[in-house]
Amino acid sequence: MEKPPLPNDDDTVVTPDSQLCSLAGEGSQEGVVEPPARDGWDSKVEYFLAQVGFSVGLGNVWRFPYLCHQNGGGAFLLLYVLLMILVGIPLFFLELAAGQSIRQGSIGVWKHISPKLAGIGYSSCVVCFFVALYYNVIIGWSLFYLGNSFQYPLPWEGCPEHGNTTVEECTASSPTTYFWFRKALNITDSIEETGEFNPVITCCLLAAWTIVCMGMFKGIKSSGKVMYFSSIFPYVVLLCFLIRGLMLDGAAEGIKYMFYPKLEIWGEVQVWRQAATNNCHRDALTVSTINFLTSVLASLVVFAVLGFRAREVAMRCVTRNLEKLSEQFSVGPLDRDLLPGFNISDPSLVPLEAYRDWFTAHGAKVPGNLTDCSLEEEMNKGVEGTGLAFIAFTEAMTLFPGSPFWSALFFLMLLNLGLSTMFGTLEGILTPLTDNFKVLKRHKTKLTVFSCIVGFLIGMLFTQRCGNYFVMMFDDYSATLPLIIVVVFECFSVSWVYGADRFLDDIEKMLHWRPPVIYKYLWKYVCLLAMLGLLGASLLRMCFKRPTYTAWNRQTASEVTLDYPDWALAVLAVLIIFATLPVPMGYIHSTLRSRTRHNFLGSGTDTGAVYTKCSTVECDTPVADLLDEHLERNGIPNDSPSPLAEENLRLLPLREGVEDIEDSTDL
């Protein structure tokens, strides 16, 4: 049976039926068994919008601006674009092509190439689960802010007061920063203060998992039409924020900071690792480009607001210092040559640049511990950690007329982005499992509910008062490092085990045109060596430099860098090992099965029929599965491993001719 072709622009996108190939020489005519077809997208537009929706998410609004700020602004952008072109797009194309040609989930794809590689798919599922755990916490935060947006004025517009005194922690930072760390998270001073839960955030996390669970019941058929809204709505909101942000005083300095490349930061391994782990041929190019442009759009908004915040803080610094200077001149004789050339009686009218020029020339000569007021220094401080987008965007919304409306709109957008990505992430876990385990397929609804319950229970780790630090741990290490390892195995398996030339041949059959040969060399050398180098450098960095995290200090109302305690490093190591362990376990399991089955078969079992039939028809069923049927009919235990497992190395339906099967044994 021939697979339906992939859609062109005018075709309806339908995922084809699974197909089984009958065995020759069995004495009976076996028909083709076709399970019910999977749900599919109704049009190419819905499919493409779904790709955008799954690829563009909270990370573009939350993580990318934070990483861009943390890693040198323009230097990070240049590095990101470089890695996207040389590594990201080729690997994305590889995964799309493999998935569309085999028409299975992550486990089935690699099992189809070779059962020894099935562990790659399981590792992918584990990494997806890790991401889903902390990703839904961010959705919970969005729900919390959305609920607080229906107030006027917004609760983060000003500092709270106790009696007639403004809360000092808020005064020393800012109202939005104080609301994030104290009201939303009620955060501890370190990751070691565990055990105390934040009840409000716990309820928000429960609501987030409930929404995800309910949304997963219907599948893509119900969500297809929603994609028209959910994929376009975020861009409308971001453009509104960008226009308003560019009108703020100091926005130009923020944008300049974003694009100015500090190339010296390229020497740090962390920058390369974070730039490389953020994201059929046309889709790979287009979705990757849209993903990047979305990140840049969100970053423009964030940095415009950061520039405004930095100027506001710097001008408050100027005001404090000029008040001190005015007192010095009023209470004691000072050298009149030290008097600034501007009017110090009204500090609000003094330009920042004028004060800095005077301070550079005379500041050290004046008593009273005057300080410099550097806009760039304030930009360098910015806002560290996961709260950057929350703090920056919430501050921007306080400047809008009708701020509650814009706040609700923004956090509704975040909720929309987060849920679209969560649906794709969970589907990437559940679909491969139900494809490979019939009992799970029969109870997919129960599996979905069970997965969401487990996700919530484990996710309570992040709803502790110190939970934000665990979010940072998962985001920085337990998701990214295993992801690099999985990508290394994927790239090696396709380009070297299966063969890059053979893979390009299969893509040519599928797409009816041959991709440029440059992909062969990118997959075999550039992508693989880049990922291996990145992985090695990251592991060495962790060995020689103790991992750190950014914590909020209540006393100083500022963020400080702390070392992870030993127990946290042990947890981190366990998570990384747990995520990558399926790869070697899958290889060992398949090898042992192969040897055991070889002993059962001996030399008396006729396996030629399996080879002959699958070499003369287009067969989607793995050879090992066909052999299982063969063994059952001949009274041989069906659980005994097959020596033919390693022979199943075809991505597309097998070509005609026995020589093709024989060639595959060379691998």
Can you say which residues are annotated as belonging to the binding site for Na(+)? 53, 56, 60, 417
165: its two tokens: 């005194």
**Residue 557 located in a structural domain:** yes
Could you give the count of Cα atoms lying within 13 Å of 265 in the half-sphere of its Cβ?
Answer: 22
Whether residue 648 is contained in a domain is answered as: no
In a domain, 74, yes or no: yes
Annotated binding-site ranges: 53, 56, 60, 417
List the chain residues with pLDDT less than 50. Answer: 1-37, 279, 603-623, 636-667
Q: How high is the pLDDT of residue 85?
A: 85
Q: What is the pLDDT of residue 661?
A: 31
CA distance 84 to 86: 6
The answer to whether 318 and 352 are in contact (CB under 8 A) is: yes
What is the pLDDT at residue 102?
67
Q: What is the pLDDT of residue 50?
A: 64
Per the structure, how many domains does the chain have? 1
Residue 287 within any structural domain of the chain: yes
Spatial CB neighbours of 479, under 8 Å, sequence gap ≥ 6: 127, 130, 131, 134, 277
pLDDT of residue 334: 62
The backbone torsions φ and ψ at residue 278, rounded to the nearest 5 degrees and listed phi first, read -80, 135
The reported pTM is 0.75
Residue 460 belongs to some domain of the structure: yes
Its domain, for residue 116, covers 44-315+380-596
Lookup result for tokens 């190395």? 649
Task: Give the pLDDT score at 266.
Answer: 58
Is 496 within the bounds of a domain?
yes
73 vs 187: CA distance, rounded Å: 28
Predicted pLDDT of residue 108: 79
